[in-house]
Structure 1
Amino acid sequence: MSSTSSDEVRFPLDAEVFDVVRRLTFELPNGDVESLSSRGWTPEVLTSIRDYLGSAEARFRTGYDAEEISTALAALTESVTRALPATRNRLDYRSSEFVNFRHYTFDADGHHAYRWVNSKRYSLREPGSRDEILRDLIATTEYRDGYIGGGVDPDGQIHGPYQLSAISPDSYREVGRDEAEAIVRRWLATAGTVPAELLNALEPVIFEPIRAAHSIHELKRLGAAAVCSYGEIHLEFHELVLVDDTSVRMIVAADD
């Protein structure tokens, strides 16, 4: 039994319905949720089976009344919902901004140092905890970006200098607005004086969003074991995730 689309459920034949519901009623209220989910059961399918049987058919097919079956399946649906990750990502990718320092003129005491800033913006369709939002961000296609010029790779396993498998919500630490701004300004100062024109271009891309964010999360340095084969190409790699009620912005400041 499987779901043919997000809106349509394919049910087993009548004889199979009898067997499925008997097994669910007897086994699953105390069963192994992971085993259940691996066999293709989802809350949507379980609920649909319950509704498909209906009160009049329940005792005829299974020997148990509809209330008993509904109670068992409702409990199981709740367990599966808690155990399985959300199937619908809260984030919708909207746009990207890129500021290349090489496009600006530096004085003798400064240099572009092959640096750049990339900002990806997402809309947030529904609220979530810190870990839920970060987990959804990591799961987006746009997160699969090595930031070495090739752009987003939908099948890629790299994010910046790191292997994607090494990154989780625990890879981020929460920082305040002042600390987030200081991280960026320290990085900017490493190659001398920054042109006023460039600072003006960075204001709406970095500093205004930082000041407006409700929470900010910095990607930590993950260590040598997490670095991909070309990760050392970035002399510095800084990432800030800015969250408010309706949007998420991922700012990467790095060099190549």
Structure 2
Amino acid sequence: MVYQREIFINPAVTRQWVSIKVFAVPAEVDDQAALAAMIADVRYRDSYAGTGDTDMVDKHGPYWLAAITPQTFTVATPAAVETVIRTWSGYYTPWPAADRDAMDREVYPRIQHATVIYQLPDIRAKAQHDWGEVVGSDGFHEYVMIDRAAGELALMVASDD
């Protein structure tokens, strides 16, 4: 897999944000191998806590990286994912039009066009690292959307800090 870019939506009116890390996924790479390659990629090693490269060894969001394997992920339906994200984004004040437009452009089409969506369930009880409570007090929503027609794997994290 080849990393392409990150899309970051960060409304100024709330603590919420959405990160989408986009990878090109070759057709011959099956889902489990794609998830394994994503987990092994340095860009997955992100605490999402603004610490820069200092935590890019053993953490992912609020979790110890070692606790996450391809088998940790579960399949999610597009309708369920969209409901979670739309509900989560409405927790606080309404987002500015530009951020809502970015969600309509970058998030929801990826959910709708995905061949398959994998969800990282909440594994805090067994895998939260020593300061993992800093990220995602209102939820750490992680989805991996694989779109075979587009040759794309999109890692989406919707959370807060």
TM-score by length of 2: 0.90
Which of 4, 24, 48 aligns to 1:123? It is 24
- Would you say 1:135 and 2:36 are equivalent positions? yes
The residue number in structure 2 matching 1:84 is: none
- Report matched runs for 1:1-256 at 5 Å: 91-102=1-12, 112-152=13-53, 155-234=56-135, 235=137, 236-245=139-148, 246-256=151-161
Give the number of the structure whose residues are more often helix, by fraction.
1
1-side partners of 2:160 and 2:120: how far apart?
16
2-side partners of 1:137 and 1:153: how far apart?
19
Displacement of 1:194 after TM fit? Answer: 3.2
2-side partners of 1:144 and 1:152: how far apart?
9
Amino acid corresponding to residue 191 of structure 1 in structure 2: Y
1-side partners of 2:53 and 2:23: how far apart?
15
**Long gaps (5+) in structure 1:** 1-90, 103-111
Secondary structure of residue in 1 paired with 2:156: strand
Deviations 1:7-61 (A, max 9, x none): xxxxxxxxxxxxxxxxxxxxxxxxxxxxxxxxxxxxxxxxxxxxxxxxxxxxxxx
Give the number of the structure whose residues are more often strand, by fraction.
2
Secondary structure of residue in 1 paired with 2:2: strand
In angstroms, what is the RMSD of aligned CA positions? 1.6
1-side partners of 2:113 and 2:53: how far apart?
27
2-side partners of 1:185 and 1:203: how far apart?
11
Secondary structure of residue in 1 paired with 2:92: coil
Identity of aligned residues (%): 29
The higher relative CO (CA closer than 8 Å, separation ≥ 6) is in 2
Secondary structure of residue in 2 paired with 1:253: strand
**Long gaps (5+) in structure 2:** none
2-side partners of 1:177 and 1:155: how far apart?
30
Q: What is the aligned residue count?
A: 157
TM-score by length of 1: 0.58
Secondary structure of residue in 2 paired with 1:179: helix
Larger of the two Rg values belongs to structure: 1
1-side partners of 2:78 and 2:56: how far apart?
34
2-side partners of 1:151 and 1:207: how far apart?
28
Cα distance change of structure 1 residues 100 and 127 upon mapping to structure 2, 3 Å threshold: same
Cα distance change of structure 1 residues 182 and 155 upon mapping to structure 2, 3 Å threshold: closer
